[in-house]
Amino acid sequence: MVVALGAVVAGFVQGLSGFAFGLVAMSLWAWTLDPALAAVLAVFGALTGQVMAAVSVRRPFALARLWPFLLGGWLGVPLGVALLPRLDVDWFKAVLGLLLVIWCPAMLMARRLPAVTAGGRVADGTAGMAGGIMSGIGGFAGALPTLWCTLRGFEKDTQRGLIQNFNLAMLSVTMATYLFQGLVTRPMLPLFAVVGPIVLLTAFLGGKVYIGLSEAAFRRVVLGLLTASGVAMLVSAVPNLLARYL
């Protein structure tokens, strides 16, 4: 039931926003599932949702703008996969959650965000590498690149097309790496059968809602989801850290 609930909520959110399956699902699954299992399910679910999004919400993208993100991301995925078994999950969630909780509400409250134009392709590639690392850790490919695209001031459909294709590429590589390294085991397959159909349906419904969103509403949805994900991460991580050190 916990796996199904996480898939329902996260699938719809991904269809709506184009990212955040891993963030939303892990905020629910982290309470009861083993971290390695939760990471594999998050990558599988996010990849399934991205395939549905690519079919139901097609948006054009410029390869010249996308390739720095892809190159950085492909360099980052192996680093994230290597970090996964060595990662202190509570500290990871606490640091990422704090970043999202501080930065995203500040962006929400700003009436008009100045677009960041500095850094060029190197900065875009760095954001892509961060997304690749996060994808390898647990399917969080889109969170930081989405935040960066928002800072860049990209329009709604431009951002959706870029992030959708970036996520699809990163999650495909991540899932292939998990399979190659034996992180996907036979006992996980029944849970895949639960997550897959649910995500296909809910991501499709979320994509239909996305089509009706204005630019301002889409920005509020993205930043609101990132903030809520940060809060959920802090709620699950901080008590464990306090119990560990106090």
Domain boundaries, the chain: 2-245
Distances (CA, A) of 221 to 13, 123, 210, 218: 9, 24, 10, 5
pTM of the model: 0.78
The string of DSSP codes covering 38-90 is HHHHHHHHHHHHHHHHHHHS-----HHHHHHHHHHHHHHHHHHHHHGGG--HH
Among residues 187, 155, 173, 124, the alpha carbon closest in space to that of 59 is found at 155
Q: By three-state DSSP, how is residue 31 classified?
A: coil
pLDDT, the chain, mean: 84
Candidates 166, 172, 195; CA nearest to 3 is 195
Q: Chain centroid to CA 224: how far?
A: 14
203-214 pLDDT tens trace: 999 888 888 888
pLDDT band at 59 (very low <50, low <70, confident <90, very high): low
The fraction of the chain above a pLDDT of 70, given in percent, is: 96
| pLDDT category of residue 55 using cuts at 50, 70 and 90 | confident
